Structure 1
Amino acid sequence: MSTTTIRLEDDLKARINAAAAQAGKTAHAFILDALAQTVEQVEQDNAFHALADERWARIRATGKTVDWDKAKTYLTARANGERPRKPAK
């Protein structure tokens, strides 16, 4: 395990201490959790964008898409807890 030093403005440090106390954690644990959550969010965002880029490239290469009305019906059913078949391209 390595050590990293960060410099915090006094106001931010006070806010971290208060938030950590409210969460029942030490400031150190609170900061580690915040960093881990931020890193995970960036990784998820990058994976999402990579998938979107891949799908967009496939659409551009093949021209195949799903009709909007069929996609909307499918998504509405999923949002309502149903398990419909995916619409055909």
Structure 2
Amino acid sequence: MSTTTIRLEEEMKSRINAAAAQVGKTAHAFILDALAQKVEQVEQDNAFHALADERWARIRAGGKTVAWDDAKTYLTARADGQQPRKPAAKA
């Protein structure tokens, strides 16, 4: 395991110590959890954007989309526990 040094202003250090104490952790464990959470969020954001870019490229290449009203009707039915037929994509 490697060591990294960070410089914190006293106010931030106090806030971290207080927050860590509130959740029953050391400041070190609190900071590690915060870093892990931020890294995971960035990775999820990147995956989401990559998927969106891929889907947008498919839409542009195929020229077909599902109308919003059809998609909304489908999603509302799914949310209500129904199993409607997926709407067809149209040019």
Q: TM-score, normalised by structure 1?
A: 0.91
Question: 1:72 matched to which residue of 2?
Answer: 72
Q: Comparing both chains, which one has the higher relative contact order based on Cα–Cα distances under 8 Å and sequence gaps of 6 or more?
A: 2
Q: C-alpha separation between the residues in 2 aligned to 1:85 and 1:3? A: 55
- Following superposition, the deviation at residue 69 of structure 1 comes to 1.3
Runs of 4+ in 1 over 3 A off after TM superposition: 78-85
Structure 2: runs of 5+ lacking an equivalent: none
Shift of 1:79: 3.3
Match of 1:28 in 2: 28
Alignment coverage as a number of residue pairs: 89
Unaligned runs of 5+ in 1: none
Matching residue of 1:61:
61
The CA distance in 2 between the partners of 1:12 and 1:62, in whole Å, is 51
The equivalent residue for 2:19 is 19
Same amino acid, percent of matched pairs:
85
The Cα of 1:67 is off from its aligned counterpart by 1.7
Moved more, 22-31 or 62-71: 62-71
Partner of 1:38: 38
